[in-house]
Amino acid sequence: MTTYLLAGGGTAGHVNPLLAVADGLRERDADASVLVLGTAEGLEARLVPARGYELLIVAKVPFPRRPNGQALAFPGRFRRAIAQVREHIRTHSVDVVVGFGGYASAPAYVAARREGVPFVVHEANAKPGLANVLGARRAAATGVAFDGTPLRGSEVVGMPLRREVIELDRAARRAEAAEYFGLDESRPVLLVFGGSLGAQRLNEALAGSWGDILASGWQLLHVTGERSDLADPGVPGYALRRYVDRMDLAFALADLIVSRSGAATVSEVSALGIPALYVPYSVGNGEQRLNAASAVAAGAAELLDDPTFDADAVRRIVVPLLGDSGRIARMAAAAERVGTRSGTDNVIALIDRALDASN
């Protein structure tokens, strides 16, 4: 029996691909032991046990970004975190470690190397995190979701995706999706969303331009986010939702998407062959713009600037595209070429390769 230790967490961007691989391993071999390493503070503390996996805890030790008291304490805290993981590896007779980034991954990589256990790295973002940059230097194999991700020895494997996305037949589910959202399956649909909390910039732009979208002959499915107080005009053809727990049905109905460009969003949208206009979040390290780069280069998507995305931009850029069915069809065909639904299987193949090489 093989024992896998999957390390990562903190955010959904780390936890979701980790869980997709965990599910894939368990589906392939019911006798395999799949354990997850995470912190007590991260999203994994809730999601991992709820999915039926044992969560092994490691202390959260952020890398210091500036010289201060935390920087002085870091070496000792990091050594203790490594010791915690080494104990987990010995206690559970772990055969291979797989890291997805986040606080749990850095000590996991070091612990695995010191215990003589092979480890594999997966990076979801086009701009890799520090833990994975360091881990890739000694990893048995490194997979990345996007072409051009600067990690040593990496190969493009795609993103491990949710089962409901991998198995989604958009055409077969369109009628069900239209009924679910109260829209007409025979008319095209623009899907706009900004994540579970929404995107204020996108919401404000749509608040001033939804009428122009409907006037173009398109319908609008607008997921505003749970914190939004945007008023629902209650008109036919405009489905406004604060939150959608059936994004598979939203994707089944979408003929074009306007959204942020988080790694999971870009991977899912491309895998499903849906053309997109991405509005990368302008705060942070610029990773969202990089995440969309391969889709844009392939002609599957276009980038819009967040600071200038407003109702006028929708009227000038989005509405004309809605009237150009040929251009949308070309974008959709490009999306099918650039996306992949086999990310989970590809990562598992890396894991198998690392195990074979260690035996």
The alpha carbon of 314 is separated from its chain's Cα centroid by a whole number of angstroms, namely: 26
pLDDT at 34 over 60: yes
pLDDT band at 145 (very low <50, low <70, confident <90, very high): very high
Task: Pick the range with the lowest mean pLDDT from 70-79, 117-126, 199-208, 260-269.
Answer: 70-79
Q: How many domains would you assign to the chain?
A: 2
**Residue 197: predicted pLDDT:** 53
> Residue type for 283, please?
V
Are 224 and 284 part of one and the same domain? yes
Q: How far apart are CA 129 and CA 132, in angstroms?
A: 6
Shared domain for 75 and 93, answered yes or no, is: yes
- Burial, 326: exposed, middle or buried (Cβ in 10 Å; 0-12, 13-18, 19+)? exposed
What's the mean per-residue pLDDT of the chain?
A: 93
CB-based contact 185:175 (threshold 8 Å): yes
Regarding whether 230 and 130 lie in a shared domain, the answer is: no
Residues 133 and 176 in one domain: no
Q: Which residues of 56-67 are buried (b: 16+ CB within 10 A; e: fewer)?
A: bebbbbeeeeee
List the one residue out of 124, 132, 160 whose CA is nearest residue 290.
124
Q: Are residues 8 and 65 part of one domain?
A: yes
Q: Which of the residue ranges 52-66, 88-102, 232-246 would you say has the lowest mean pLDDT?
A: 52-66
State whether 16 and 122 are in the same domain: yes
Residue among 117, 114, 150, 151 nearest 135 (CA): 151
Centre a 10 Å sphere on the Cβ of residue 113 and count the other Cβ atoms it contains. Answer: 16
Give the CATH number of the domain where residue 312 resides: 3.40.50.2000
Average pLDDT of the residues in 130-139: 95
Measured between alpha carbons, how far is residue 118 from residues 10, 95, 110, 136, 336 in Å?
A: 23, 7, 11, 12, 34
pLDDT tens digits for range 8-31: 988 888 899 999 999 999 999 999
So what's the pLDDT on residue 226?
82
- pLDDT above 80 for 198: no
Q: Within 13 Å of residue 233, how many CA atoms lie on the same side as its CB?
A: 15
pTM of the model: 0.91
- 121 vs 264: CA distance, rounded Å: 17
> Region 90-116: what's the mean pLDDT?
97
- The Cα 20–Cα 42 span in angstroms is 17
Give me the sheet containing 276-278, strands edge to edge: 238-241, 219-223, 189-193, 256-259, 276-278, 301-303
Radius of gyration of the chain (CA): 22
Query: Are residues 279 and 196 both part of a single domain?
Result: yes
Residues 272-314 have pLDDT tens digits of 999 999 999 877 678 899 999 999 999 999 999 999 999 999 9
Q: Are 67 and 40 in the same domain?
A: yes
What would the mean pLDDT of 221-242 be, rounded to a whole number? 93
**Same-domain status, 194 and 125:** no
Same domain? For 149 and 203 the reply is no
- In which domain, by residue range, is 64 found? 3-161+341-358
Same-domain pairing of 47 and 89: yes
pLDDT at 195: 66
Q: What is the pLDDT of residue 196?
A: 56
Collapsed DSSP state (helix, strand, coil) of residue 238: strand
Residues 207 and 233 in one domain: yes
DSSP of 185-217, one letter per residue?
Answer: TTS-EEEEE--TT--HHHHHHHHTTHHHHHHTT
Quick count: other Cβ atoms within 10 Å of Cβ 298? 18
The CA dihedral of 101, 102, 104, 108, to the nearest 10 degrees, is 30
How far apart, in whole angstroms, are the C-alpha atoms of residue 141 and residue 34? Answer: 19
Distance CA 101, CA 323 (A): 42
